[in-house]
Structure 1
Amino acid sequence: MNPADEILDVVDENDQVVAQAPRGEVYARGLRHRCTFILARDADGRIFVHRRTATKLVYPSLYDMFVGGVVGAGESYDEAALREAEEELGVSGLPRPEYRFTFLYDDGAGHSWWSAVYEVRCDLPVQPQVEEVQWHAFLPEDEVERRLTQWEWTPDGLAAYERLRAFRAAR
């Protein structure tokens, strides 16, 4: 199936489903929907970082420290988090990602989605989807921090990462 044809739930400012539409229409019309962000770490605690392919519908060729994606119509955040993590990392049998929090991402320019943030440990050898991932590596967190000002990152991933740092600091 063409990703643009995937049916998504359209949600309101309270994350309540108000309609359903194909992903391509959701993106074109700037309709609010649901996404998952999963920070994957290897056995050494390094973070999976990747560069998105140039063919991605949103934020092509940018770097991201999260795997994840849209929540399909009728799918829960938890279901989508596990599905998306396994798909993007190219693994099966991943432990269920641990939910951290949800926030509304809105850049004021037509990109708005409810974002559920998770963390997962991936001890399996990864084989990311070539259609989605141009480059990848597991990087120590201090290197990710250094690269924040050097590489062009997905704006929603940066927003999720900043909130995750604050979430950890508050615990």
Structure 2
Amino acid sequence: MSAADEILDVVDENDRVVGRAPRGEIYAEGLRHRCVFVLVRDAEDRVFVHRRTAGKLVFPSLYDMFVGGVVGAGESYDEAALREAEEELGVSGLDRPVPLFPFRYDAADGSVRESAYVYWVRCVLPVDPQVEEIAWHGFLTEAELERRLGEWDWVPDGLAAYERFRASRAPHAPRA
């Protein structure tokens, strides 16, 4: 089955399931669906950053500071966060990602509409990212990541989620 054929829940503005459709149809029609964003930090507190492959259905070849993706039909946000993090990082036995906040993303042109949840997880395991999903990866310090925000082309939903993440952290709060 191709990624475009994967069945996803279609949700309304209040994140209630109102139907199901193939991913390709959801993207083509701009239907609201569920996603997860997982910020990954290594043992040195650096953030996992990657560039998506050119073959991705949405936002191909752009950089992202989250791993994650769509929530499958009938799957919970928590289940999807762990599944997506392990798949994209190429690890197993990862701790369950910690939920941070719900997040909604609506592209200005209406092409992408997501009801999402943002998580974080510590990964001390050696990563072996999926070559189908990730063309390049590295762990960056927050200062390095901040410098790259103005230099690299980022996925718009991930960038919006990261901006909300940064704004929600009080200076004295522990890092995710």
TM-score band by shorter chain is over 0.9
Question: How many Å separate the matches in 2 of 1:74 and 1:164?
Answer: 27
- Letter matched to residue 93 of structure 1: G
- Residue 169 of structure 1 deviates from its aligned partner by 2.2
- Letter matched to residue 112 of structure 1: R
- RMSD of Structure 2 on Structure 1 (CA): 0.9
Equivalent residue, structure 2, for 1:113:
114
Equivalent residue, structure 1, for 2:153:
152
Question: How many Å separate the matches in 1 of 2:154 and 2:67?
Answer: 13
Q: How many residues align?
A: 171
Equivalent residue, structure 2, for 1:30:
30
Per the normalisation by structure 2, the TM-score is 0.95
38-47 or 107-116: bigger deviation: 107-116
Equivalent residue, structure 1, for 2:68:
68
1:83 and 2:83 correspond: yes
Question: How many Å separate the matches in 2 of 1:155 and 1:104?
Answer: 12
Deviations 1:91-145 (CA, angstroms, capped at 9, x unpaired): 0000000000012100121211011000000000000000010000001011000
Percentage of matched positions with identical amino acids: 72
Q: Structure 1 runs of 4+ off > 4 angstroms?
A: none
3-state secondary structure, aligned to 1:38: strand
Equivalent residue, structure 1, for 2:39:
39
3-state secondary structure, aligned to 1:150: coil
Equivalent residue, structure 1, for 2:129:
128
Question: How many Å separate the matches in 2 of 1:166 and 1:82?
Answer: 25
- Letter matched to residue 160 of structure 1: A
Question: How many Å separate the matches in 1 of 2:37 and 2:27?
Answer: 18
Deviations 1:20-47 (CA, angstroms, capped at 9, x unpaired): 0000111111100000000000000000
- Letter matched to residue 45 of structure 1: D
Q: Unmatched 5+ residue regions in structure 2?
A: none
